[in-house]
Amino acid sequence: MKKLFILTVTALLIVCSFSACKGNARQDVKKNNIIIKEESSVESSPSIDTNTYSDVSSTTECKDVFKDEEVEEELEEVKEELEEVEKEKDEATVELVGVNKLRPDYDLGTCKDLSGNVTVVIFYLNDFESSWTSEKINKFTEREVKPGLRFLENSALKFGINLSIKIEEIHSDIYYEDEVETNIKESGYATINALDAAAKSLGYSSDQDFINSYKKKYSTEVICYCVFNKEGNSYALNPKRGTDIDIEEHVLLFAYDIGSTGLEPVGCQSSVVAHETLHLYGAEDYYNPEERKTLAKEYYPNDIMLSCKYFLSLNDFGDITAFYVGWIDDVPNLLFEETW
């Protein structure tokens, strides 16, 4: 793009220089004609040799102005270079489109680019089964959410990506009156309107209205978490290929995993925060189907998208995950494996 800009400016400068020089030459000729007439009217001495004047004028123009042929040659060279740049750009675009076919969940919804500054908004929701206190909210934010976000920032640095995720707002005292689906693996259903209900409680017409407003407010990507203080399998809600379900992307988090005693150690949900957040940006699970799981266990045994181990320190971030979320465009070889 930079090269294209430089070449365009160069072409414009050449044209402007040529026009300016010819304009100056015409002014000089006009001025000389005026002088000639004035001198002729004052003195009745011998007349001026117009042949001599013509010779002088031609010589001046040759010295001060680019020849038409030279300008045309330079412009033609610039034009050819511009065409070459456009061709390279088109080829790069075609190549990237082909690459994106290998990461089909990338760039589907409102969460587009996991880089630069990113804003987080957390909703702590109460329902007929559970509720939050200020103390529990503070603990979950500090011990579970923030470490998960730091994991993403540190992982981005390994791939040369600058990422700063900041929690800008925390909202509580929000009551969700419908039933919450805590185990989508078992039922196949998800609670899709928690964010919508939370947004309306703040005076917005819909979750879409809320997301759009906050993107303008902070001029960043916006990640939303809806958190319930009970057991459940956390999940990301985002557009799926081949469906017409209209969902504003967000994560539904549960304070404890299904089957827990409610006394899980500090930090056990931080890896879940990171895992589900990555789903919003195109990352895929490696434990399904079984053939992919076999390959992942061999090549990426500790990847955050495989087993999402209890503690963050036991997880890492592989190049396929980086590719899926757009941090790298070089396609990892394992993606070409038939069973992946």
20 and 158, same domain (yes or no): no
Q: What is the pLDDT of residues 106-145, one digit of tens each?
A: 988 899 999 999 999 999 999 999 999 999 999 999 999 9
Q: Looking at 44, 72, 100, which one is the last position of a domain? A: 100
Nearest C-alpha neighbor of 226 from the set 257, 193, 203: 193
81 and 121, same domain (yes or no): no
Q: What is the pLDDT of residues 153-194, one digit of tens each?
A: 999 999 999 999 999 999 999 999 999 999 998 888 999 999
192 and 283, same domain (yes or no): yes
162 and 238, same domain (yes or no): yes
Residue with tokens 């414009």: 12
Give the distance, in angstroms, between the CA of residue 27 and the centroid of all CA atoms in the same chain: 53
Domain contains 105: no
160 and 89, same domain (yes or no): no
More confident residue, 68 or 308: 308
Domain contains 111: no
Going by their DSSP bridges, the two strands 116-126 and 221-231 should be labelled as: parallel
92 and 158, same domain (yes or no): no
- Is pLDDT above 80 for 149? yes
Beta bridge partners of 164: 117
25 and 121, same domain (yes or no): no
81 and 129, same domain (yes or no): no
Q: Looking at 66, 100, 134, which one is the last position of a domain? A: 100
Other Cβ atoms less than 10 A from the Cβ of 41: the count is 8
- Is pLDDT above 80 for 327? yes
pTM: 0.72
136 and 195, same domain (yes or no): yes
Give residue 42's pLDDT.
35
Structural domain tally of the chain? Answer: 2
pLDDT band at 28 (very low <50, low <70, confident <90, very high): very low
138 and 79, same domain (yes or no): no
> What is the pLDDT of the chain when averaged over all its residues?
81
The residue-averaged pLDDT of 75-87 equals 68
Beta bridge partners of 101: none
95 and 226, same domain (yes or no): no
Give residue 49's pLDDT.
44
Structure tokens at 203: 């005076």
Expressed as residue numbers, the domain containing 225 is 116-336
Residues 6+ positions from 94 with CB-CB distance below 8 Å: none
Domain contains 110: no
Q: Looking at 65, 100, 135, which one is the last position of a domain? A: 100
Domain contains 72: yes
d(CA 291, CA 337): 10
Other Cβ atoms less than 10 A from the Cβ of 272: the count is 21
133 and 245, same domain (yes or no): yes
The residue-averaged pLDDT of 47-61 equals 43
